[in-house]
Amino acid sequence: MKRTIILFVVIVLVLVSIAVWLLGTSGRFNFVDMFQFGVILVVVGFALFLGLKRVGSLKRGEPAEDELSRRILQKTAAISYYISLYMWVFMIYLKDRVTMDTEQLLGTGILAMAVTFGVVWLVISRRGIRNE
Amino acid sequence: MTQDELAQKVNVRRETILFLEKNKYNPSLKLAHDLASLFQVPIEELFIFEEKGEISG
């Protein structure tokens, strides 16, 4: 239950940060800002989906997580880590060839890591874990 | 017994039972033991260890 609450607190914090950012830019958005905003919403939506899934499990009297969900998370984290390493190497390569602020590049990289995690989690959740 | 009821009895999520039935997950020894105890059968009757190292349920 504690982890579920923490998840929802993080979601709220991210949404509040987005709101502060929107107020700060005073309506001046470029394509990269809008794209990042969209991706953030997708990631928050995914986190919300996970949180609601956990709440549903608790309401049914099931544990919020069990051996399968923990193993899926571990495998997801491991694969996401490897993918992210290569992604950051690519971002460093791209840094000198693209006109982008360092902050934007960092933000894009962090978002890409979150998206990678979500996609890998979805794939592993569908395929399952066998013979490990 | 439904998947929900079985999941509650062995303290796992329904999804885990579903994955076991679909052969998408190899259970831990503890879970295999708990399931075998619940059905009052030996573990070998529930889970078959195959030559190539996979466990089928």
- Reported as a single tens digit per residue, the pLDDT across A45-89 is 888 888 888 888 888 788 878 899 899 999 999 999 999 999 999
CB spacing of B15 vs A68 below 8 angstroms: yes
In contact, A131 and B26? CB cutoff 8 Å? yes
What confidence score (pLDDT) does residue B53 get? Answer: 53
CB of A59 less than 8 A from some CB of B = no
User: By mean pLDDT, which of B5-14, B25-34, B41-50 is the weakest?
Assistant: B41-50
Which residues touch A17 (CB under 8 Å, ≥6 apart)?
none
Query: CB within 8 A of A7, min separation 6: which ones?
Result: A47, A50, A51, A54
Q: How sure is the predictor about A98, in pLDDT bands with cuts at 50, 70 and 90? A: confident
Q: Specify the DSSP class assigned to residue B27.
A: P
We find that the CATH architecture of domain B3-56 is Orthogonal Bundle (1.10)
**How far apart are the CA of A87 and the nearest CA of chain B, in angstroms?**
30
Q: Count the alpha carbons within 13 Å of A7 in the hemisphere toward its beta carbon.
A: 18
Using the Cβ of B6 and the Cβ atoms of chain A, whether some distance falls under 8 Å is answered with no
ipTM here: 0.79
Q: Any idea where the domains of chain B sit in the sequence?
A: 3-56
B56: nearest Cα among B30, B31, B27, B15: B27
Chain A residue with the nearest C-alpha to that of B51: A131
In the predicted model, what is the mean pLDDT of chain A?
84
